[in-house]
Structure 1
Amino acid sequence: MQKFKVQSFILILVSFLLGFSEFIIVGILDDVAASFAVDVSTAGYLVTIFALAYAISTPIVTTFIGQRRLLNVLLLLMGIFTIGNLVTALAPTYTILTISRVVVAIVSGSGISVIMAFGTYLAPLEKRAWLVAWIFSGFSIASVFGVPLGTLLSTQFGWRSAFYLITVLSFILLFFIKISLPGDLRQSTSDSNRISDQLAIFKDRRIQLSVFLTMFSLAGIYVVYTYLRPIFSTELNIAPSLITLAFTAYGFMSLLSNQLSGKIAEKRGLLTMPKVYIAEIFILGFLPLLLNIRWLGFLDLMLLGLTMYLINSPIQLHILGIAEKEFPQSMVLASSFNSIFSNIGIAIGSALGGQIGQNFGMQALGPGGAVLAAITLVLTLMLNRKNAKVSAERVEV
C-alpha cells in the first residue's frame, strides 16, 4: 500500500507539472502580450494553438505506443517536455515561443495519457475513482498554486521566470519517475498493435457521445476562463496586487471541482451531470449582469470554477469501463480521450472567446459560454439515454 501511495503521488506530480505548463499562459497573458508587442486577444490564441496541437497529436502518438514499456515512453515524453519549456523561457521571438508551445503540447497530451494508463493498471478497483480524480486534481492544484505562483513570478521577475521554474521542477521529477514507477509495464500482450484495431473504439455510439460531451463541456468554460485575467482587472477592477489572490481563489474552486467529480463518479456518475449543466447555463448567462457588482461577479466566477471539472471522473471512468470490457487494445488511447477532446474544447472556447471579446466586449463572453453549456446538456441527456438502452438490452439477453 505504501508503494502505491508513492506511485500515486508521482503520477499526481506529473499531472501538476503538465497542468502548470499548460495553464500558466492564462495568468501571464498581459505580460507575454506586452513583451512581444501583440494585443491580449492575439496572445490569447497561444491557448488555442496549444490546445489544437495537444488534441491533434495525442491520438497519433498514443496509437504508436503499442507494446513499448510505458516507463520508457513517459521518460522520453517528459524529457522533451523539459527541453520544450526551457526553449519557451529563452524564446527571443513570438514565433519561437509559439513553436516551443506546440512541442510542449504534443508531449503533454501523450504524457497525461500514459500516466492515466499507469493509474488504471496500478490502482486496485476500489481505488480507481480516487486516483483518477486526484490525477485530474493535479491540473487543479496547478491552478491553485502554479498559476498564481507563475503570475507572481511574472510580475516580480518577468514571465520567463515561470518557465525556468517549470524546467527545473521537470528535470527533478524525471529522476523520481525513473525510480518509482514499474519498468516492465506495457499494454496487455494480447492487445493488437494495429492502429485500425485501436481506432475501432470510435465505432461505439457511447464513445462518440462521450467525447463530444467532453469537448463542449470545457469549451463553454474556456470562452470565459481564457480571459479571466482581463476580466479580473478591467471588468471587476481588481487591483494588480490582488490578481494573484483572485487566481488562487479560482484555483481552489477548480480543485474542489475535481474532488467533487470523484464523489459524483462513485455515486450516480453521469446521471448527476444534467443538473450541473443547467446550473452552468445560468452561471454563464447571468455573468454580464453580475459583473457590474464586483462581489457578485466574483462569486459567479467562483461558481463557474466549481463546475469546471465535475465531468472529469464520471466521463473518464465511463470511457475506460467501455474500453476495458470491449476494446482492451485501446486502453492507452481511451485514457487520452478526456485530454484530447478537452483540449479541442479549449481551442474552440478560447478562439470563440477571442472573437466575442474583440467584436462584442468582455461582458458578452458569459452568454457565449452559456450556448455551449446548453449543447453540453443535450449531449449529456443523449448519452444517459443511450447507456440506459444498452443496459436494458444486456438484461434482456
Structure 2
Amino acid sequence: MPLALLALAIGAFGIGTTEFVTSGLLPEVADEFGVSIPTAGLLTTGYALGVVVGAPILAIVGSRVPRKRMLMALMGLFVAGNALSALAPAFGVMLAGRIVASLAHGAFFGIGAIVAAGLVAPQKKAGAIAMMFTGLTVANVVGVPMGTLVGQNLGWRVTFFIIAGLGVLAILGIAALVPEQPRPERTRISGELATLRNPQVILAMAMTVLGFGGVFTMSTYITPMMTEVTGYAPGSVTWLLVLFGAGMVVGNLVGGRYADRALMPLLYVSLSALALVLALLPLAAHNKVTAAVAIPLIGAFGFASVPPLQKRVLDQTADAPTLASAVNIGAFNLGNAIAAWLGGVVISAGFGYTAPNWVGALMAAAALLLAVLSASLERRAPRGGRAVTGSAEAGVTPGVTPGATTEGAAEGVTTAATPVGAAGAATAPTAVPAGR
C-alpha cells in the first residue's frame, strides 16, 4: 500500500479521537469551567452539529478544489479548532473550537476516500479506502482511551494540544506523500438534490439519526454514569472505553460483512438488540461486571447497524449518491447531537445519570419501526420500482463512496458505503464506515 495512505490514516485517527474523547473528559472540563455535566455535554452536541453543516457544504466546495490542497486545508481547519479548544479561556470558546474542528470531518473522509482509491490499482481500491479508515478504528480503541488517560492525569488541555499536533503531522504527511491530482470538474447539484425527495431516502436517513443516536445517549455520559452510579474509579473509564471501542470494531466488521447479504434482517436484529441492551443498562449499571458487559454490546449492536444504514441510502440513490451520502454522514452526527442534548435534558430534570439510556432505547426502537415501515413500502412498490430521481442530471456512477464527485465515479470507486460520522471504523470492503 502507498505511504500516502498512512498520511490519510493519521488524519482519520486525529478526527476520530477528537470526536469521542470529550466523553471521557466531561467531568474535568465541567469542573474547570464551572458548568454542569449536561452543559459540558454540549461539546458533543456542538461537534455533531458542525459535521451536519460542514459535511455537505464542504463536500460541494471540495469538488471544485484540487483534492490534495483541499485535504490540507481541511486538516488546517481541524488543527485550528483543536488548538482553540486547548487554549479556551471560557466554555463558550471551547465549544466554538469544537465546532470549527468538526467542519472538516465529513468532507475529509469523503474526499480522502476518492484520493485513497486513486492511489492504487482498480482491484485494490476498496482495500485502500479501508486502510485509510483504519485510522478511525484505531482512534476508537487506542486514541480515545489514551486521550482520556492523558487528560485525567495531565489535564484535558494537553489532550487537545496532542490532537492538534496529530493534525499538523497529517498535513505534513499529505504534503509530502500524497501526489498532486487534477482539479475536479464541476458537478451538477440539481440531480443530487432531487434524490433527497425520495421517501425511502428520507426514511433511511431518519433511521440513521435515531438508530445511531441511541448509542450516543450512553457514550456521551459514560464517565459520570460509570463513576457515580457503577462505582468505577475515574482511571478505570479508560479501559471501559477500550471495551466500547472493541465492541464498535466487532460490530462494524459484522455489519460490513452481512450488509450486502441480508440488509434489512441485519437492521432488524441490530436495532432490536441495541434497544434491549440500552433499556437494561440502567439496571446493569449498578453492578461493575454487568456494566462492563453491556458497554461493548452497545458498541457492537450500534455499529453493526452503520454499514446497512449507509448502504440503504446508497441503494436508494444509486444514480446520484454524492450529496445524499454526504447528508447521511451529517445524519449520523445529527443523531449524536440529539442524543447528547436529550441525555442532558433528562439528567438536568433529576432522573439521574442512567436515564439517558432509556432515551436511547426509545430512539433505537423508533428506528426499528421505521425500518419495518420502509421494508413494507418497498414490498408494495411496483416490481423493479425503486424510484430514484435526478439520475439523468447527476451523471454519477452507482456505488460511489460518500463525498465522491462525478469524476470520482469515473475513477472506479465502487465500495458500497463509507459513512464517517461520529463514529465509524474500518469494515469489510463492501462497507467502510467510520460517522461519524
TM-score, with normalisation over the residues of structure 1? 0.88
Partner residue of 2:58 out of 44, 57, 61: 61
Query: What residue is the counterpart of 2:280 in the other structure?
Result: 286
Q: 1:383, 1:11 → 2: CA distance? A: 36
Q: CA RMSD in A?
A: 2.6
Q: 2:169, 2:215 → 1: CA distance? A: 33
Quick one: structure 1 residues 9 and 283, their matched pair in 2 at CA, closer, same or farther if it must change by over 3 Å?
same
Could you tell me whether the CA contact under 8 Å between 1:211 and 1:341 is conserved in 2?
yes
Superposed counterparts of 1:205-224, under 5 Å:
205-224=199-218
Could you tell me whether the CA contact under 8 Å between 1:117 and 1:335 is conserved in 2?
no
Quick one: structure 1 residues 134 and 146, their matched pair in 2 at CA, closer, same or farther if it must change by over 3 Å?
same
Q: 2:108, 2:341 → 1: CA distance? A: 25
Superposed counterparts of 1:87-102, under 5 Å:
87-102=84-99
Q: 1:284, 1:186 → 2: CA distance? A: 47
SS of residue in 1 equivalent to 2:141: helix
Could you tell me whether the CA contact under 8 Å between 1:269 and 1:314 is conserved in 2?
yes
2:153 aligned with 1:165: no
Could you tell me how far 1:134 is from its partner in structure 2?
A: 5.8
Code of the residue aligned with 2:167 in structure 1: it is S
Could you tell me how far 1:145 is from its partner in structure 2?
A: 0.9
Please list the CA deviations of residues 263-309 of structure 1 after superposition, one character each: whole Å capped at 9, or x if unmatched.
12343234311011111121011112222222112211221111121
Superposed counterparts of 1:116-135, under 5 Å:
116-119=113-116
Could you tell me how far 1:113 is from its partner in structure 2?
A: 2.6
Partner residue of 2:373 out of 379, 382, 386: 382
SS of residue in 2 equivalent to 1:67: coil
Code of the residue aligned with 1:313 in structure 2: it is P
Higher percent of residues as helix: 1
Superposed counterparts of 1:119-268, under 5 Å:
119=116, 138-184=135-181, 187=184, 189=185, 192-193=187-188, 195-268=189-262
Could you tell me how far 1:259 is from its partner in structure 2?
A: 2.0
Query: What residue is the counterpart of 1:326 in the other structure?
Result: 319
Could you tell me how far 1:7 is from its partner in structure 2?
A: 4.6
Please list the CA deviations of residues 341-388 of structure 1 after superposition, one character each: whole Å capped at 9, or x if unmatched.
011000110001111122211222222111101111122223344555
Code of the residue aligned with 2:345 in structure 1: it is Q
Q: 2:247, 2:60 → 1: CA distance? A: 34
Please list the CA deviations of residues 189-241 of structure 1 after superposition, one character each: whole Å capped at 9, or x if unmatched.
4x634x43332221223322221111111111111111001111111101223
Code of the residue aligned with 1:225 in structure 2: it is S
Q: 1:377, 1:311 → 2: CA distance? A: 11
Quick one: structure 1 residues 266 and 121, their matched pair in 2 at CA, closer, same or farther if it must change by over 3 Å?
farther
Could you tell me how far 1:147 is from its partner in structure 2?
A: 1.4
SS of residue in 2 equivalent to 1:92: coil
Partner residue of 2:364 out of 373, 376, 383: 373
Please list the CA deviations of residues 78-115 of structure 1 after superposition, one character each: whole Å capped at 9, or x if unmatched.
11211221121111222221111111111223222322
Quick one: structure 1 residues 32 and 274, their matched pair in 2 at CA, closer, same or farther if it must change by over 3 Å?
same
Code of the residue aligned with 2:53 in structure 1: it is I
Could you tell me whether the CA contact under 8 Å between 1:134 and 1:258 is conserved in 2?
no
Could you tell me how far 1:9 is from its partner in structure 2?
A: 4.1
Partner residue of 1:355 out of 345, 348, 352: 345
Please list the CA deviations of residues 3-42 of structure 1 after superposition, one character each: whole Å capped at 9, or x if unmatched.
3xx4544433322211111111111111111111111111
Could you tell me whether the CA contact under 8 Å between 1:219 and 1:372 is conserved in 2?
yes
Could you tell me whether the CA contact under 8 Å between 2:75 and 2:171 is conserved in 1?
yes
Code of the residue aligned with 1:347 in structure 2: it is A
Could you tell me how far 1:337 is from its partner in structure 2?
A: 3.1
Quick one: structure 1 residues 385 and 129, their matched pair in 2 at CA, closer, same or farther if it must change by over 3 Å?
farther
Please list the CA deviations of residues 306-360 of structure 1 after superposition, one character each: whole Å capped at 9, or x if unmatched.
112112223334434554x411xx52x3442342001100011000111112221
Query: What residue is the counterpart of 1:13 in the other structure?
Result: 10
Query: What residue is the counterpart of 2:407 in the other structure?
Result: none
Could you tell me whether the CA contact under 8 Å between 2:141 and 2:242 is conserved in 1?
yes
Q: 2:383, 2:206 → 1: CA distance? A: 24
Code of the residue aligned with 1:68 in structure 2: it is V
2:330 aligned with 1:340: yes
Q: 2:303, 2:47 → 1: CA distance? A: 19
Q: 1:279, 1:123 → 2: CA distance? A: 39
Aligned residue pairs total 385
Quick one: structure 1 residues 7 and 199, their matched pair in 2 at CA, closer, same or farther if it must change by over 3 Å?
farther
Segments of structure 1 that go 5 or more residues without pairing to the other structure are: none
Q: 1:346, 1:274 → 2: CA distance? A: 21
Q: 1:167, 1:207 → 2: CA distance? A: 36
Could you tell me how far 1:119 is from its partner in structure 2?
A: 4.9
